[in-house]
Amino acid sequence: MSEPSPEVYEEGRGMDAHNQVMRSIRAEKEAEYDPREPTRVWIDEDNTPNGVRESLTIVLNTGGCRWARAGGCTMCGYVAESVEGGEVSHDALMAQVDSVLEHEEANADGLCDLVKIYTSGSFLDEREVSAESRRAIADTFADRERIVVESLPDFVDRETLADFTDRGLDTDVAIGLETTSDRIRRDCVNKYFAFSDFEEACAEARAADEAAGTDDSDPDVGVKAYLLMKPPFLSEQEAIDDMISSVYDCAETEGCHTVSMNPCNVQRYTMVDELYFQGGYRPPWLWSVADVLESTADADAIVISDPVGHGSDRGPHNCKECDDRVQRAIKDFDLRQDPSVFDQIECECEATWEAVCEREAGYNLPLVQ
């Protein structure tokens, strides 16, 4: 598979230029973070292959994504929230897990069936989370139904996933694919791997699934693809078209059972942040999110979206008057997979969105802020 390194593919243009800009932007970070406290934790509901489940979502505070330290993705500011020095000890990580369990006890109705674990990079990268910590975390949540762990494709292998299936956990690998277009992933997102690497990771997940057994009582292993709606440099209609084709591509990839489309939001210490403040970027319209979900409702996968920061200038939004209504419809679709929920919402700003989709182009975006 591709190695995460800032090697250039064209001197003076492309990934080397992106990485130089990203390193410069991230050098502005001043905040420091406690290695014994998780970055975030919250309780929610998620649609899984086993149905809707109460979920415990954890963002562990680690030493950060290796690729981000080379420069990284144009929209991702999570590495700015990671611990300085590139390493968090086993004891500190387990202290974070203890804090998470205290939050769950205080806020959930018992133990959550679904546990989702994210970092600023790859939970399966042993330079971020050691094998000792990974196995201890698997032991901690062995009494749950399903676990989701975040990783780049490089670190997905059947032996590592056995740490979870051996404990009886249905296991999903969340991969930030962003798009099935290699050109957009490289030039707009600045991510180094190819769609073929994602396919190989899905094959490893299938192998882990087979190794876990074929009885109904045996753990299942699958992949949850994360897509990015409207990275920089795409017009609104280009972003919609890219997401529709990417959803279908993922759904047709054996082993990928869920597609989560994340509308881009403006995070600090990123290239998107720089473009936004210079009038060169607008987050996607919520109408665009609804359009993609409705257009791909027949895809052979669970297709969901969780617009972070909806209704704010830095997050996906419409006119502000209808944002909450559209967001509720999106959440309803996530849980029921019924596209008719979008027939129940309307607003005058939909005409503006349609005009933007028709007229906005790369040379004049954003057409409307």
Secondary structure element (H or E) that encloses residue 310, with its range = none
Q: Please say if the pLDDT value at position 149 is more than 60.
A: yes
Residue-wise pLDDT tens digits, 265-308: 999 888 999 999 999 999 999 999 999 999 999 999 999 999 98
Residue from 21, 9, 154, 35 nearest 91 by CA: 35
Q: Please say if the pLDDT value at position 6 is more than 50.
A: no
Phi first, then psi: what are they for 43, rounded to 5°?
-105, 140
pLDDT at 19: 65
Residue-wise pLDDT tens digits, 230-245: 999 999 999 999 999 9
The pTM of this model reads 0.90
Residue-wise pLDDT tens digits, 90-109: 999 999 999 999 999 999 99
Residue-wise pLDDT tens digits, 172-203: 999 999 999 999 999 999 998 999 999 999 99
- Domains by residue range for the chain, with CATH: 15-359 (3.20.20.70)
Residues 124 and 155: beta-carbon distance below 8 Å: yes
pLDDT at 369: 80
* Arithmetic mean of pLDDT over the chain: 90
Q: Please say if the pLDDT value at position 332 is more than 90.
A: yes
Q: What is the dihedral angle through the alpha carbons of 249, 253, 258, 263, rounded to the nearest 10 degrees?
A: -30
Residue-wise pLDDT tens digits, 24-71: 665 565 556 688 999 999 999 999 999 999 999 999 998 778 787 777
